[in-house]
Amino acid sequence: MPFAPDGATLSNGDRMTAAVRFLLTTFMLVLLSASGLAQSTAGRILGTVTDQTGFAVTGATVVVADSQRGT
């Protein structure tokens, strides 16, 4: 029978509780780390440049500026 840190023996219920606690902790770590992997520093802007009549403008140049960061 396994021993607890204080020298007492663990019952089947205590082992089950420890296993469930371990699985929940592992699940939470995986879940929280997944959101960190979803972060990115790159971005993408998609769209179509149109004139006043709604037709697409070919060869248009678009400049994107971030005034808060000065870029």
* Position 13 confidence tier, pLDDT thresholds 50, 70, 90: low
- DSSP-derived secondary structure for the chain: --B-TTSPBPPHHHHHHHHHHHHHHHHHHHHHHHHHHT--S--------B-TTSPBPTT-------TTTT-
Query: What pLDDT digit, counting tens, does each position of 15-62 carry?
Result: 668 888 899 999 988 888 877 776 777 778 888 999 999 999 999 998
Q: Which residue has the higher pLDDT, 13 or 23?
A: 23
Residue spans of the domains in the chain: they are 1-40
